[in-house]
Amino acid sequence: MSASPKPDLITVNVDGRDVAVPKGTNVIEAARLVGVDVPYYCYHPKLSISGNCRMCLVEIGMPAVDPATKAPIVDPGTGKQRINWIPRPQIGCATTASPGLHVRTNTAQIKECREGVMEFLLVNHPLDCPICDQAGECKLQEQATGYGRGYSRYIEAKNVKPKRTQLGPRVMLDDERCILCSRCIRFCKEVAKDDVLGFIDRGSYSTLTCYPGRQLTNNYSLNTVDICPVGALTSTDFRFKMRVWFLKQTDSIDPESSVGANTVVWSREGVVYRITPRRNDEVNDTWMADSGRELYKQNRAPDRLMVARVEGQDSTPAAALAAAADLLKPAAGAVAVVGSGRSSIEEQFVTRRMANALGAGAFLVGRSDPGDGLLISADRNPNVRGALVTGLVTNLPSERLTQLGEWIDEGKVRCVVSVGEDLLAAGLTEAQLARVAVVYLGTHANATSAIARIVVPTFTVLERTGSFVNQQFRLQKFFQAVPGPAGAIDDLTALTRLLSSVEGEYFPPEPAAIWPEMARAIDVLQGITFAGIPATGRLLDGSRWAGLPFPEGPGLHFQPAAKP
């Protein structure tokens, strides 16, 4: 046995190969590190260990030592320390690595164990994969090929259980497919803290149930669908809509709040079919809120702005932007820019530059609502910290644009550019708006777009590329999953065009191209390139803003800094 390379690492041996793993790693994860696949069903890295499926059985051994002297016992044949193998196979999910632990996954016994478990799981499982919605994502189907025996010896009648039970508004259950792994139950208890699922009856007749009269309605219910290893739990929304293997996956960020849950957007031919969580152990583990999964529906909502308008006439985004520049340039000094906490940091940087160029005051509209203590925080803007970092604003935004209203009343402002904000909803009055020319860049129609002099339709987060800074000051990237509608324009393109016309200098509209300048201009971004931001984000030094009264309370992986 080789010595531990680092104090917090220990060396274990999997199928003959030594590997250094952090203390506390279980055998499944340790094996993964050397590329050895230990199949499993009930284990989930973010839930308690249940150990019920028995698929992860492996052989475990410890180096032999003399009980009295603790000296290693050396095998004279090999000259190496002898390994005492436990005769019974052990479950990998509940076996934590200890120094010198030996694991064998490739023996005849283990092969047979897996074949046995596979056969047992299938005896009462419907064999109708072609019509199952989980096909392509079913671990049972997948592992039957890899670890099963390939034929059935079962000729008895299968158990009959409830089919197609609606567990809640978004989740459907087929009990005959359930392999009783209890992941969904553990998730509801341990993560969502909404204990409504459980098993009733016993033995092979055990049946997953939602308490009669209650529903699985919590805002995290769809995570059960994600973690169900088979097709027992399905999303009512996604069910049978599209085979998963046809879908393209794009990394994105849930824009619902400053948590910034990492997501994957599943699309095909420009249409988004679903959004699922992407693992980030520092942010959202493997979870996300149901509400964030629904957001793709906004892409094709009836109130989506599809065509630019200038003075009430339909136009093109290019013409509308040109008209906006013509409106703004002469008004320099009497312009206000209402930026957005929903803009990317790149967009906010350009917004700031534009405000500077126009000598305009810059505002942000705050959005707060109580957080859920998990993955939706009290700050319902995804990127207020980006606005602080870029200097778009220097203070936390309020929900009402009172100051702007006063300036309008005082005649200091003649033009207002709004990046997606409904100014009426933010507290300006119709009378105030009647006194200014409004340039509105946004995705959906609202009272402000209705009265704006110029309307430029823009893209949703699923149609854009950029980055947000979340509540932890973690910089996280999102990518365009689908193209925006034909009559609309990407926000960053729109903003850089406006800036170019105002400053008379070309600005590239790609985040990657903006970063070198941003990194030069903003000290906490120094040395960062867009490409260099890891998939799971990069923490910025937010200490400068630590004194601000951020609204977020504790949530998953987030403890607010002690308020001064």
Partner 1 sequence: MPAPAQRRIIFRHIDEPGYTNDLACYVRHGGYATLRKAVTMAPAAIIDEVKKSGLRGRGGAGFGCGLKWTLVDRKSGKPIYLIVNADESEPGTFKDRYIIHQDPHQLIEGIMITCWANNVKQAYIYIRGEFPVGARILEKAIAEARAAGYVGPNVLGTPYGCEIYVHRGAGAYICGEETGLIESLEGKRPYPRIKPPYFPAVLGLYQCPTIVNNVETLCHVKYIVEVGGDEFAKIGTPNNTGTRILCVSGHVQKPGYYEFEVGKITLGQLLHEVCGGPLPGRKFKAVIPGGSSAKVLRFGETFTLKNKDGSARTLAVEDIPMDFDTMAACGTMGGSGGVIVMDDSVNMVEALANLNAFYAHESCGQCTPCREGSLWMKKITSRMVHGQARAEDGTLLKSVADQIAGRTVCAFGEACSWPTQSFVAKFGDEFKAYPETKQAAKPAGATDLV
Partner 2 sequence: MKLKPETLQRIDEIIPHYPVKRSAVLMLLHAIQEDVGFISTEAIEWVATKLELQPINVLEVVTFYPMFRQKPIGRRHIKVCRTLSCALRGGYQTCETLEKEFGVHRGEVSADGEVTIEFVECLASCGTAPVVMVDDDLHENVDCARARALAAQIKQEAARRG
Residue choice 230, 324, 518, 528 for contact with ligand SF4 (CB under 6 A): 230
Give 454's strand partners: 310, 439
Among 21, 30, 93, 488, interactor with ligand FES by CB under 6 A: 93
Instruction: Decide which of ligand SF4, partner 2, partner 1, none touches 232; Cβ closer than 5 to 8 Å per partner kind.
Output: ligand SF4
Residue 172 interacts with ligand SF4 (CB under 6 A): yes or no: no
Task: Identify which range of 89-97, 226-234, 397-405, 470-478 contacts ligand FES by CB under 6 A.
Answer: 89-97
Task: Please identify, using beta-carbon distances, which residue of 58 and 227 lies nearer to ligand SF4.
Answer: 227
Calculate the dihedral angle through the C-alpha atoms of 549, 554, 557, 561, rounding to the nearest 10 degrees: 30
Q: How far is the CB of 144 from ligand FES (least distance, A)?
A: 16
Where does this chain touch ligand SF4 (CB under 6 A) — which range of 172-180, 283-291, 400-408, 474-482?
Answer: 172-180
Q: Which residues contact 502 (CB under 8 A, 6 or more apart)?
A: 325, 328, 329, 332, 354, 357, 358
Which of partner 1, partner 2, ligand SF4, none has residue 506 at its interface (CB below 5 to 8 Å by kind)? none
* Binding of residue 118 to ligand SF4 (CB under 6 A): no
| Contacting range for ligand SF4; rule: CB under 6 A; set: 222-230, 333-341, 345-353, 434-442 | 222-230
By CB under 6 A, the residues from 499 to 558 that bind ligand FES are none
* Min separation Cβ 557 and ligand FES, Å: 24
3-class secondary structure, 545: helix
If the CB atoms of residues 179 and 308 are measured against ligand SF4, the closer one turns out to be 179
Our CB check for ligand SF4 shows the closer of 176 and 254 to be 176
- Is the CB of 115 or the CB of 194 nearer to partner 2? 194
Backbone angles phi, psi at 222, to 5 degrees: -75, -15
Report CA 320 to chain centroid distance, whole Å.
35
Residue carrying structure tokens 């126009």 = 358
| Cβ neighbours of 545 (radius 10 Å) | 19
Residue 154, number of CB atoms within 10 A of its CB = 11
Residue 379 near residue 355 (C-beta atoms within 8 A): no
For residue 47, which amino acid is it? L
- Say how far apart CA 310 and CA 325 lie, in whole Å: 12
Q: Which is nearer to partner 1, 205 or 211 (CB)?
A: 205
Residue 56 binding target from ligand FES, ligand SF4, partner 1, none, CB below 5 to 8 Å by type: ligand FES
Q: What residue ranges bind partner 2 (CB under 8 A)?
A: 195-202, 209-214
Exposure string over 35-59, b if 16+ CB within 10 A, otherwise e: ebebbbbbbbebbebbebbbbbbbb
Is 53 or 354 the residue whose CB approaches ligand FES more closely? 53
Residue 187 or 459: the one with the smaller Cβ distance to partner 2 is 187
Euclidean distance between CA atoms 245 and 124, whole angstroms: 27
Q: Which does 212 bind (CB under 5 to 8 A by kind): partner 1, partner 2, ligand FES, none?
A: partner 2
- The one among 21, 117, 184, 514 contacting ligand SF4 by CB under 6 A: 184
Close Cβ partners of 265 (under 8 Å, ≥ 6 residues apart): 249, 250, 251, 252, 272, 275, 296, 462, 481, 482
182 in contact with ligand SF4 (CB under 6 A) = yes
Mind spelling out the 3-state secondary structure of 457-508? EECCHHHCCEEEECCCCEEEEECCCCCCCCCCECHHHHHHHHHHHHHCCCCC
Fill in the per-residue mask, 23 to 62: x = in contact with ligand FES (CB under 6 A), - = not in contact: -----------------xxxx-------xxxxxx------
40 binds, among partner 1, ligand FES, ligand SF4, none (CB under 5 to 8 A by kind): ligand FES
HSE toward the beta carbon, residue 530, CA cutoff 13 A: 19
CA nearest to 361, candidates 336, 378, 341:
336
> What does the angle CA 145 – CA 149 – CA 154 come to, to the nearest 5 degrees?
115
The residues of the shown chain that bind partner 1, judged by CB under 8 A, are: 49-55, 57, 88-89, 91, 94-95, 112-113, 116-117, 119-121, 123-124, 153-154, 156-157, 159, 179-180, 199, 201-206
- Which positions touch ligand FES (CB under 6 A)? 40-43, 51-56, 91-93
- Which positions touch ligand SF4 (CB under 6 A)? 178-184, 208, 228-230, 232-233
